[in-house]
Amino acid sequence: HVQLVESGGGSVLTGGSLRLSCLVSGYTVNNMAWFRQAPGKEREGVTSIYTTNSSSYILYVDSVKGRFTLSKDNAKNTLYLQMNSLKPEDSAMYYCAARTSWVAGVMLSGEKYNYFGQGTQVTVS
C-alpha cells in the first residue's frame, strides 16, 4: 500500500518561491506527478516524472515551464517540486500522485494515477 505525504506549502508573495516535498512509502514507484486544484476549478496536472534505472523523463504543463522544477531523490524516496517566480494563479491545493503499475511515459491525467496524497496548500498573493 502506497502512502504519499506532502509538505512545504505555505503563503508567499508574488515572485516568491516554495519547495514542495512528497515522501513516498510502501512501494517503489516509477510514475509520479504533482496536481493542483483551486477552488471552483478542475484538477490540473502540473508536472510528471517517469524514472528508469538510468534516466528520468519529466513533463511540465505550459503555465509552469521555466518556473517549476521537478526532481526525485530515490535514496530518500522523496519527490520535490521547486516553485519559483510564483504567481497568484499558482494558488491551489497541490497533490502528489503515484502510479503503482509501471508505464513507460509521463502523464498529466489524474485518472492514470491510483494514489494521491492529502495535499498541501499554496497561496500566492
Query: Given this model, what pLDDT does residue 76 score?
Result: 92
Give the pLDDT confidence of 36-73 residue by residue, as tens digits. 999 999 999 999 999 988 899 999 999 999 999 999 99
Residue 115's pLDDT band, with cuts at 50, 70 and 90, is: very high
Strands across the sheet with 78-83, in order?
3-7, 18-25, 78-83, 68-73
Contacts of 67 (CB under 8 A, 6+ apart): 83, 84, 85, 86
Q: Which helix (H) or strand (E) holds 48?
A: strand 44-51
What pLDDT, on the 0 to 100 scale, is given for residue 43?
A: 97
Nearest residue to 63 via CA among 39, 40, 38: 38
> pLDDT for 7-41, tens place per residue?
999 999 999 999 999 999 988 899 999 999 999 99
Which pLDDT does position 27 carry in this prediction? 85
pLDDT at 102: 86
Instruction: Please count the other Cβ atoms lying within 10 Å of the Cβ belonging to residue 119.
Output: 17
